[in-house]
Structure 1
Amino acid sequence: MKSVPDPLLGTVIDGRYRIHARLGRGGMATVYKAQDQRLDRSVAVKIMHPHLADQADFVDRFHREALAAAKLSHPNVVSVFDEGTIESDNLHDTTYLVMEYINGDDLRTALSRRGSFSLRMALEITRQVLSGLGNAHQAGLVHRDVKPENVMLVQGDGLIAKVTDFGLARAMAAARSTTAGTVLGTVAYLAPEVLQEEVTSRSDVYAAGIMLYELIAGDVPFRAETPIALAYKHVNDNMPRLSTVAPWIPSSVDSLIGLLTAKDPAQRPANGIVARDRVQEVLNNLDDIIAKRRIAVSPTDLEHRSTPAPEDPANGSYDTRSFTPAHKTALLTAPPETKRRNSRGHELARQRSGSNEVKSSTSSKLWRWLIILLLIATSAAGIFWYFTAGPGMRMALPDVTGRQEDAAVKVLEELELTPVIDHDYSDEVREGYVISTDPSVPSEMARGDEVTLVVSLGVEQVEVPAVIGLPQETAEQVLTSSRLTADFEEDYSDQVPEGNIISQDIPAGTEVDHSTTVTLTVSLGREPVTIPDVSNETAEDAADILKNEGLDVVTEEAYSDDIEEGLVISQSTSGSGYRGDTVTITVSLGPELFEVPDVYGMSRDDAEKLLNDAGFEVEFDNFLGGVFDQVRQQSIPAGELHPAGTIITLIVV
């Protein structure tokens, strides 16, 4: 197939980034190598696919990756330098990211090339990945898609692993696992709780543990025919132990992988930093462990092996791509020296056999010309077949957009094209139908060429975050970051401060279409009221009047010589106030009563003093001139209760 030149090659983005080469293409974007002409350095530019540029949810996800990665500064995280939009007729105002350029392969490519990694290197790569993830966890982010494709390897004085692609990263407080029943991330590395509940930093630790197993064994621990069946294995099946495949594997490595991939998240390290330290402990003790393991190997361990036990299994790695599990077992137990010796032996045998020597015929020139003519005729026939019926035959790519996935695949396979399925969300194309193809129509194809079908997952569902109690501006930002729209109402609140959210019309945790409008009620603070004057009202009426204004009432009592019993003497406040204020009313008990003392038989002066001290007024009525100076009668009997100031008349004889 004649390749179509990439229109971006050689162009300058935003007057700064000159595009030099295309590095790779993913489901959302294409990555290019570019030169930052302002700072004179190589960078990687990630440019969103043009057909996604008009879809706000994809642009937002792209923007979220920039924000997530820009928060991080760590040697094991790929740095994001810049973000912008290319204003171009050809690219439809496409969004781009500028990232640190990594002159190396991703871990998947390296693993595919090598087959597996040495024990020491696998642990070191995992340690660095966990260190980068730990930095994200400390910043409140969960990566949610940890896998070899999202780890870059930098070759230098030593191997450096860098975590990249934070396109699925979400804040821990808002991270949830599913969206419309579709798990975000790669099923082969997803923790059990991601499929059932919510994503946490421990979910990233699980994925790193699965990756460590794969780096050592050359394959992931669980495989199944469908994603659902694979997810079931992650939830229900026990983690296989590497030592059952390769007995030389130290038990500490099995234990470490078991710790990182525990089914219960609470049993795993809390975050990448804690997990990194556990990996470091195993690395620190690796030499002693291997030395002890080497001594412990018995002849029976070697009985079914095709090669001797390893001299140092921590430092060997093998190409396991085309091997059965039994072959992989043998390779995992084979030292690298044996593998290299076998390769050199095969080469020497080939050279000695003369298989590369072309023995010339010493027959006549006629035979030589006949052979040449036969070769020419055969080549011409082959070329004719290649371009008419063979792989070189050209065909137009059929337009299968809008078709159901199985139907589109059938059309391509009937033309002997190779369909590759990718998935994405779409507001317009229903679930299970083709959104677009890569390459797009019109394109000329050859038999066997790959055609990527982007199949719709339907309208993307998002989880409504909890924003009650947050300030209005913060709540709006939280909803916007979840690709939801905020609408506002206002109301008074006694509990929620002015400007904060009282309530939301869609409960937190509800799954809804992205861009759904969530109505938030914003607090106006406490509602102002006028506190009425309830003086001289009965206690019951006064309480009703104040409560009708939304006020709380506290009742106290006091004696009053002026206010009738049961009526309000006074209140703690009146005039301006707020609903919910407390008003204290003082209710009259009437005048205070005192007990009249008994003064019978007392002298005039003593009786007067005793009554005065009790609060009463005294008048006298002398009988026979009062010569005996003794009280013989009092107008109010002793023991009765009367208000202070009551006049009591004494008869003195």
Structure 2
Amino acid sequence: MDTQVADTLLGSLIEGRYRIRGRVARGGMATVYTATDERLERTVAVKIIHPTQAPQAKARMAGFVERFTDEAKTIARLTHPNVVAVYDQGIHAGLPYLVMEYVRGRTLRDVLAERRRLNPDEALAITEQMLAALAAAHRAGLVHRDVKPENVLVAEVPTGGSRNLVDSVVKVADFGLARAVEASAEDENGNQLMATVAYVAPELVTQGHADPRTDVYSAGIVLFEMLTGRVPYDGDRPVEVAWQHVDRDVPAPSTLVPTLPPALDALVARATRRDPAGRPADAAALLSEVQAAREELGNPHAHTTVLRQLSDDTAVLSQPTQVVAALQPVERPAWARLPESGAAQRPHRRRAVEEDGPGTGFAALRTRIMGSPRGRLAVAAAVVVLGLVAAVGGWWFGVGRYTVAPQMVSLTKADAEAQAQRGGFTLKYATPRHDENVPKDTVLGQSPGSAARIVKGGTITLTLSLGPERLPVPDVVGKDYALAQAELEGANLVVAKGSSRYDDTLPAGVVLATDPKVGTVVKPGAKVTVILSKGRAPVTVPNLVGKSLTEARTILAQLGLKPVENVKDSDKPKDEILGQSPADGTGVEKGAQVKLEISKGPPQVAVPRVVDMPCQQAKQTLESQGFPVNVQLNPNGIVRIQNPVENTPVPPGTTITVTCL
């Protein structure tokens, strides 16, 4: 209520003619108001585009208005009892608007919100009228692009409060509006999807392409929702829902409502094929299938009782004989009138069978014609002419209108299309398939086959090759074996178990690796070996770095592990452990090898000769070369003994003992 009071359009006069009375609904692209046409004194609906939907730049605004005007003209010419009529269009305050027929009723969305789902005869009755409207649009070259319950208006027939919707009038709205807004959006960024994702056709998601089969798909989703009370796909983000239409087949309605008959499953499946070529060509074709389904289901509302009129006020049933009140049809208001039925009974012509007396009727005429030579000649000429016509017609229908289909197998798609154009043939494409020996986009098969009879200018269906099928090995590392096996077999790969090994991070039974590796491109049916984890190994490798070789050997022997020693040059003390493999904390089996890097010790240097040198001079010489000196007896004497002796190789920093006398 507060929003309506704040709406500046309420009470305003548009084009000096349409007085805005109230707001009916607000959608993603426009707001709908009720208004009074003060010139013709009738109630109309006015739809005004939101400011956010109209392009802001002047150049783009001009293009948008031009497209919007063209769409309005097209829809205005689309006169059909199941289409919401368009009366006028224009611009108010810089925003395009449409003036349309005001329908007293509810949207199909409102009906489903109240009823959740409809019974089959109601759903099919609504679908028939919805498809009749779409068929009229398709004949006019118009594609709706946004078929959904919000754009289907249900004007319930005044039957004293009956909830049955079979006799309701259905009208489809918003033809071309999404198309006009989308065309403007393409000028701006070229990548917007102007459609409702719950009902969007796969080709509109992948290619942005729409044709009558796009509306057929959306109508099939609406029928699915009417029968089951829900749409087939949902998701956290709109893009997730849109791509489910591309990747998955719509489930059968009977999987959600088991009482639904198979005919409805087949009808929904036909309308919602992911491949547009598998759907009915347009809404008229689907309408025929819906009508056939209603007949197959024996819709009780399609049956009538034959009455024999007795007088102006009474009628009698043909069997059994019973007098009842004359059936008076419900008087619908002007906005809810159905189109005149084409199945009204026509008066039967009576045949008067008269007995021809001598000299009268057909016998007399025959006698007069055959009694004269000129008459007999005329009859003979007529017989000859009829024979020639029959012969020529028979030749044409049996032979003359046929030719032979050209050979197209093994041609590329471009060459096949060129050959078909030269021969005047139309090409259709069946679902392509993979082939190991035939390159991509090369014709695998054709129907009718080469040299087979075909009507001149007829249609040839080609099956193209997708080339050799290749697929990457799925990433199953870290998954349980049963799940990994199902995923690999689902990708048409053969699964084999390889040897298992211990792993410090993955529990037993989980996939460690595959051979070929994950992501490797392989043929269908290729063998993939799965390597499983045995869990953590029973022995944990200790930290040996910094310990002596003797200590390390003792520790490893106690754990049942085998050292593998490798000596390296190092400044560290001799036999100190510099490194190890596996690292400490790694799990290994008992008896496993542990590689040790052992210090060879610092490089040795030769001890210089200091014998016969004064004791203090000898001390200075040794200390200058990095040797600590231990002086014995007389520090002021002469060196008589040194240990180690001269030229002995020792590690740097070795203490030299000198004895002075």
TM-score range, shorter chain: 0.3 to 0.5
Larger radius of gyration: 2
- Relative to the length of structure 1, the TM-score reads 0.41
- Relative to the length of structure 2, the TM-score reads 0.40
Q: Which structure exhibits the higher relative contact order, with contacts defined as CA atoms closer than 8 Å and separated by 6 or more residues?
A: 1
